[in-house]
Amino acid sequence: MLKMKKLFGVALISLFVLGGCSQEKEEAPELIEVKFKTIPETIKVNKEVELVATVTQGTERVEDADEVTFEIWKEGQTKDQHKKIEAKHTKNGEYKVTYVFKETGKYYVISHTTARGMHNMPKSEVIVK
């Protein structure tokens, strides 16, 4: 009977110890954020423009993104007419590509970004004059 009480006591203590460990909360990493801009801000037809995606995680600029690709298409185009161009990392979490829009109109740009096990793909609208 004494052995059984000891065994029960050990089991009970083990339960408390293990239960205490499982209540420790693990913080989830902050999501990556992608901000898109063009340089210059006003886009003119047949002129070079830089497409820029700035990637951050919290207050940190992400220098090690696995992939940043711009998907570009003019309003009304079908999916098979979309262009995908891989951006190059420059500095301060910025990923860039130089592009020339051949026609005036409304375009859409998706900044497909994969970094630190996460994917973000914000869609932006640009007007070419």
Q: Please report the pLDDT score of residue 13 as a whole number.
A: 59
Map residue 112 onto helix, strand or coil: strand
pLDDT given for residue 97 in this prediction? 98
Structural domains in the chain, CATH included, are: 32-128 (2.60.40.10)
Res 8: pLDDT: 52
Cα separations in angstroms, 118 against 89, 106, 113, 114: 17, 29, 8, 6
Tell me the C-alpha distance between 46 and 29, whole Å.
Answer: 42
Phi, psi of 59 (to 5 degrees): -95, -5
Instruction: For residues 13 and 82, give the distance between their C-alpha atoms in angstroms, rounded to a whole number.
Output: 62
Say what the pLDDT of residue 113 is. Answer: 98
Of the pLDDT bands very low, low, confident and very high (cuts 50, 70, 90), residue 14 is: low
* pLDDT digits 0-9 by tens, 18-71: 555 556 667 778 999 999 999 999 999 999 999 999 999 999 999 999 999 999
pLDDT band at 3 (very low <50, low <70, confident <90, very high): low
